[in-house]
Chains A and B, each alone.
Chain A
């Protein structure tokens, strides 16, 4: 199984809503990532978890809150988002989060904030 599964595929939320994005992998990978990608732009790194510990936070606003309950699961909790947060949110995993490891991406959650 070389899949990273993200749910939901699409999400529409208001600025006062609280929602969560979920990501799951069963490849035994110990590093998991959240990327944000706006239309016609490259993916931008948000967070990295390595061995279930947050190792990188790219100065992301606190309205985005990551959580890694175990080595297979990664959540992104959303609260009080702004319309400019509308984007494709991509989860990825890699073997250990080390040098030159290829990333396995999920298909993403297309988020629209109204």
Chain B
């Protein structure tokens, strides 16, 4: 069974204080790893897809990287509007099924 573990569960940063979120996964035949952002009471919003080890993608203050066992979401100089829950998800084998991790709840303090 596909497993996705995210850490930490919660993270509190001062504005401008860079950090990284971790997503480790155990799957058979990874097809893709996804990062989503979820605001309270809303559906997840797509950020990145990573396909293979060594791949990196960037968007504004966010940078996602992938190894054979884990992915990191690096947040550089975060702002209060970056506060949200960041979900990692994997797609493997049965390609229509995406398995989500529990997420990291990020709070950025002004």
Contact = CB atoms under 8 A, between A and B. Distances in A.
B78 interface: no
A77 B82 CA distance: 36
Interface in A1-17: 4
29 contacts: A42-B102, A43-B87, A45-B98, A50-B96, A58-B97, A90-B43, A90-B44, A91-B43, A92-B43, A97-B96, A98-B95, A99-B31, A99-B32, A100-B49, A100-B51, A100-B91, A100-B95, A102-B34, A103-B34, A103-B36, A103-B44, A103-B46, A105-B43, A105-B44, A106-B43, A107-B41, A108-B41, A108-B42, A110-B41
B45 interface: yes
Report the contact-size class of chain B (Cβ under 8 Å from the partner).
20 to 34
Interface string B3-46: 01000000000000000000000000001101010000111111
Given A40-B102, A105-B43, 11 more contacts: A43-B44, A43-B87, A56-B94, A56-B96, A90-B44, A99-B95, A100-B49, A102-B49, A103-B36, A107-B41, A108-B42
